[in-house]
């Protein structure tokens, strides 16, 4: 049980850093926050890119 609790604390901390401490309302209101962070930092297809896909 302690391992699961530690995992949740770590993941929530990482999400807080990912969204930024000033964006907690956005984090709390996002039903798919893990997907949001993945797309923000990895983009589509696992590559970070600011260019739009063709």
Give 5-16 pLDDT, tens digit per residue: 999 999 999 999
What pTM does this model have? 0.62
**Is 53 contained in some domain?**
no
In a domain? residue 19: yes
Quote the longest CA-to-CA distance of the chain: 46
Mean pLDDT of the chain: 83
Examine residue 50 and state whether it is found in any structural domain, yes or no.
Answer: no
The pLDDT value recorded for residue 13 is 92
Contact 20, 40 (CB under 8 A): no
Pair of tokens at residue 49: 């890119």
Residue 30: CB atoms within 10 Å: 15
In this structure, is residue 29 part of a structural domain?
yes
- Domain region containing 31: 2-43
pLDDT tens digits, residue range 22-32?
999 999 999 99
Q: How many domains does the chain have?
A: 1
């Amino acid at each position: 049980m302690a391992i699961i609790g530690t995992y949740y604390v770590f993941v929530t901390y990482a999400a807080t850093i990912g969204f930024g401490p000033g964006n907690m309302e956005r984090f709390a209101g996002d039903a798919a926050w893990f997907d949001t962070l993945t797309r923000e930092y990895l983009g589509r297809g696992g590559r970070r890119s600011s260019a739009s896909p063709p």
